[in-house]
Amino acid sequence: MAKFIKKDKGDIPAINTSSLPDIVFMILMFFMVSTSMRQTDRMVTLTLPEATEVAKLERKDLSSYIYIGTPTRQYQAQYGTDSRIQLNDSFKTVKDIGDFVAVEREALSEADRQFMTISIKADENTRMGIITDVKQELRRCSALKIMYSARKAGK
Amino acid sequence: MAKKTPEINGSSLADIAFIALIFFLMVTTMDQEQGLQRRLPPMPTDEQQVQDNKVNRRNIIQVKVSAQDRVFAGDEVIVEMSQLHDKIVEFLTNPTDDPNLPEKQEKEIEGLDHPCLVSKGVISLQNDRGTSYSKYIEVQNELVKAVNTVRDQFSMAEWGIKYSALDEERQDIVREAVPQYISEAEPKDTKRN
């Protein structure tokens, strides 16, 4: 057995892997900090329209989402197949947008409030009527910065 | 002397950390939020409405999207989207100084050594309640594309590089020289429903 234990002088010593956990933990910490878990379950089917001239949103944390689309199958019995507005975790009407915006605005710090962006995530088959209503309501509660969420299309 | 405690084997620590890492890798949403950014006009007061009417007719181009998703620009029917693009570019640049196309105003821009002509053109986008969202976004996209083309032209003439390749400071200059005035018109038929 001795020949297995004996240490040859010219051999490369095994690499010390004791710091591997540290490295992995470091990556882990990065992901834990940078992760933003999806806060809302989408209850509408959503295929975003395509656009080529999309711009990125710089501050993701300043945006609130309004989902517009037809309810997914499990909610269709209750809510029908017509386009609906989803705010946070429930179906709402246009009238509730005012409250929603107020709550979202309240959650931001004073300095960031003016940069709040409302991201409208609407299905491409939605009719403009409901979106126009949403836009009018947003204007009424002076949430003027909006974004039409879109997929980047290949040129 | 007390018995020496054996060293705890730490080699599986890495595995545990890896499992946690993979979990976070999977739940992370890396998708970037992107889309067309717009600024809605504030709710008008009566005073402003009077002002709006004063805008010269030649400075406005009406882009309409009908309930059947047909697009009209001015009094022209748009069949191909590139047609709309060309029309908007022509509208914004007004190369022949056509009296029916928007007037230009000479303007000093900070950071630019010579005054340049800024078009007063406003694109007014109107839609029907029955318009589909995808068509609406397609038209919006085309309008942005047209504005970007004009910006590219301006930037190429000034510095020989495209607008998107410019630094922040010069992009601001271009944005001032070629403003993007897209007005999403007051819906005309909201009261009907």
Q: Give the chain B residue whose CA is nearest to the CA of A120.
A: B35
Contact B61, B123 (CB under 8 A): yes
Judged by DSSP in three states, B15 sits in helix
- The residues, any chain, with a CB within 8 Å of residue B88's CB and separated by 6 or more, are B61, B73, B123, B142, B143, B146, B147
Phi and psi for B104 in degrees, rounded to 5? -120, 150
Separation between Cα atoms, residue A66 and residue B108, nearest integer Å:
41
| Domain ranges, ordered by start, for chain A | 50-152
CB contact under 8 A, B34 and A20: no
According to the model, what pLDDT value does residue B48 have? 59
According to the model, what pLDDT value does residue A58 have? 77
CB contact under 8 A, A117 and B148: no
Q: Give the chain B residue whose CA is nearest to the CA of A21.
A: B14
Per-residue pLDDT of chain B (193 residues; tens, 9 = 90+): 667 788 777 778 888 888 888 888 887 766 667 888 888 887 776 665 555 556 677 788 888 888 888 888 887 888 888 888 888 888 888 888 777 788 887 777 777 777 788 888 888 888 888 888 888 888 888 988 999 898 898 888 888 888 888 888 888 888 888 888 888 876 664 444 3
pLDDT tens digit sequence for A25-68: 888 888 878 776 666 777 888 888 888 888 888 777 788 888 89
Contact B65, B136 (CB under 8 A): yes
ipTM here: 0.73
Q: Which of residues 14-53 of A touch B (CB under 8 A)?
A: 17-18, 20-21, 24-25, 27-28, 31-32, 34-38, 48-53
Among B43, B136, B141, the residue with its CB nearest the CB of A128 is B136
What secondary structure does DSSP assign to B52-93, as a single string? Answer: HHTS-GGGEEEEEE-TTS-EEETTEEE-SHHHHHHHHHHHHH
Give the global pTM.
0.76
C-alpha dihedral sign at A67, A72, A75, A81: positive
How far is CA A18 from each of CA A14, A109, B8, rounded to the nearest angstrom? 11, 43, 12
Report the DSSP beta bridge partners of residue A91: A86
- The residues, any chain, with a CB within 8 Å of residue A145's CB and separated by 6 or more, are A115, A116, A117, A118, B37, B39, B40
pLDDT at A133 over 60: yes
Q: Which two tokens stand for residue B115?
A: 């005054």
Class of the domain covering A50-152: alpha beta
Please indicate if any CB of chain A lies within 8 Å of the CB of B79: no
How far is B99 from chain A, CA to nearest CA, in Å? 31
Judged by DSSP in three states, A48 sits in coil
According to the model, what pLDDT value does residue B68 have? 85
The amino acid that residue A97 corresponds to is I
Contact A18, B10 (CB under 8 A): yes
Backbone φ/ψ region at A44: left (φ over 0), alpha (ψ -120 to 50), beta? beta
CB contact under 8 A, A124 and B134: yes
Mean pLDDT of A98-127: 88
According to the model, what pLDDT value does residue A80 have? 84
According to the model, what pLDDT value does residue B83 have? 86
Show residues of chain A in contact with B128, CB under 8 Å. 128
Strand order in the sheet with A117-122: A55-56, B34-39, A145-149, A117-122, A63-69, A84-87, A90-92
* Cα B54 from chain centroid (whole Å): 25
pLDDT tens digit sequence for B53-95: 566 777 888 888 888 888 888 878 888 888 888 888 888 888 8
Among B24, B29, B129, the residue with its CB nearest the CB of A128 is B129
Buried residues in B151-181 as b, exposed as e (16+ CB within 10 A): bbbbbeebeeeebeebeeebeebbeebbbbe
According to the model, what pLDDT value does residue B111 have? 75
H or E element: which one contains B151?
A: helix B133-159
Contact B92, B119 (CB under 8 A): yes
Separation between Cα atoms, residue B128 and residue B131, nearest integer Å:
5
pLDDT at A120 over 80: yes
Show residues of chain B in contact with A154, CB under 8 Å. none
Show residues of chain B in contact with A117, CB under 8 Å. 37
Contact B173, B161 (CB under 8 A): no
CB contact under 8 A, B28 and A34: yes
Q: Which of residues 12-41 of B touch A (CB under 8 A)?
A: 13-14, 17-18, 20-21, 24-25, 27-29, 32-41
Phi and psi for B60 in degrees, rounded to 5? -115, 135
Burial environment of residue B98 by CB neighbours within 10 A (0 to 12, 13 to 18, 19 or more): exposed
Q: Give the chain A residue whose CA is nearest to the CA of B18.
A: A24
CB contact under 8 A, A28 and B20: yes
Greater confidence, A23 or A37? A23
